[in-house]
Structure 1
């Protein structure tokens, strides 16, 4: 099945309905902030959010940091800017972008999952390293790892706003457990004043073992600290990585 990206283009208007920025993302951002404060070897005032999407994490992090966001999707960046008009946003590919400046902290959240091969995975962390001041902290959270992946896991989220009722149905599936990829398929049940429209998305994503994460981060030049984040139903590994030097 061919990859699509409707959520980041023509269906991007659905993104604000999928998770409330002020509540659902706030707890994770407090956790990220605490890790940065714990491990930073320099005062942390600036933060780069790589793969910032529609700016929901930025909304919470800007209370503690001067935040810059980078994302590949111009449509999502427009949403992020509308939500956070005082912040800076730049269109760029996490594998290759170079902003010409360094930050005290970097956040790479679930967007790292779109690195669907080892080469891209390594390149993304080199981008993070290149944008950190010495003693700065990268916080990276695997959405899934080889150890935590659940075949055919399916989740549903519903939202209602201004006559729209939307159900997001997300399914993950690994057709070949011997490689480092899996598939995410999303179905959008969109009812506009009761009239049903069905859309779908399909993405090939990367899944790597915890040992691969540790190895790549250390090889990139980070001092790696590993912890847990448990917002409720799921439990995640979180890496707090200090740039040496």
Structure 2
């Protein structure tokens, strides 16, 4: 995907750590208060450019897993304290468990039930018995609304403007379309335009809960500050 490869170096301007602060504080507190004993190690699946890790690393010893070497390079720069592993979160196996597992933006890219369930299985395998996992989908079917967003950023050397357009051509399937348009100005004043269309997954709440239970978690639904559903899960202390 262009957004995570060709445009990876622009990510601090597209969406930097500051934009994730409030959410990361909320999610970090939720994880810390939900585990007994309090979680000390955290696996961030689909960590991207490390925006969440930037805030969470103050409270956890973190391991960040992502498929894109370009995005992970950005994360390594802002989070040198964190361990980084390049891998596909649907199939990666690290050979150890963590007190907590966190899965955020990357969930949007799971467009089939089998892919989403594979991520849940990865989280379960890496969550210690008695540990917690937090899944934060951008959207679920019951709360989805088409939307448009836009913005921009300026630095001393370059500038960016963007528009994001989210639509649902077929409400009967499990996907939505997200169109991104970027205008990128470099230090010499040259401007280029980049368009990318992504297909994102969209599943109903009941399907989320069913799949989480099927891999072994005990899930519950929590509303975050944006009044969207997040799924807080516990792995039973007895081994499966």
Paired residue total: 236
Equivalent-residue separation in structure 2 for 1:76 and 1:41 (angstroms): 33
1:44 matched to 2:39? The reply is yes
Who is 1:169 aligned against?
Answer: 163
**Deviation at residue 102 of structure 1 after TM alignment:** 0.5
Partner of 2:235: 243
| Structure-2-length-normalised TM-score | 0.94
2:176 alignment partner in structure 1: 182
- Structure 1 contact 42–135 (Cα < 8 Å) conserved: no
Q: CA deviation at 1:194?
A: 4.2
Q: Is the 8 A contact 1:159 1:166 kept in 2?
A: yes
Structure 2: where are the runs of 5+ without partners?
A: none
- How far apart are 1:215 and its partner, in Å? 1.1
Structure-1 separation of matches of 2:28 and 2:191: 41
Of Structure 1 and Structure 2, which has the larger fraction of its residues in helix?
2
Partners of 1:48 and 1:177 lie apart in 2 by 33
Q: 1:93, 1:87 → 2: CA distance?
A: 18
- Give the Cα separation in 2 of the matches to 1:132 and 1:158: 38
User: What secondary structure sits across from 1:162 in the alignment?
Assistant: coil
Q: Secondary structure of 1:126's partner?
A: helix
Q: Is the 8 A contact 1:229 1:235 kept in 2?
A: yes
| Pairwise CA distance, 1:196 | 2.4
Supply the RMSD in Å over aligned alpha carbons. Answer: 1.3
List runs of 5+ in structure 1 lacking aligned partners.
Answer: none
What's the counterpart of residue 19 of structure 1?
A: 15
Q: 2:154 aligns with which of 160, 164, 170?
A: 160
- 2:137 counterpart of 1:145: no
Indicate whether 1:9 and 2:1 are aligned.
no
Shift in Å, 1:159: 0.6
Structure 1's consecutive aligned runs of 4 or more residues displaced over 2 angstroms after TM superposition are 191-196
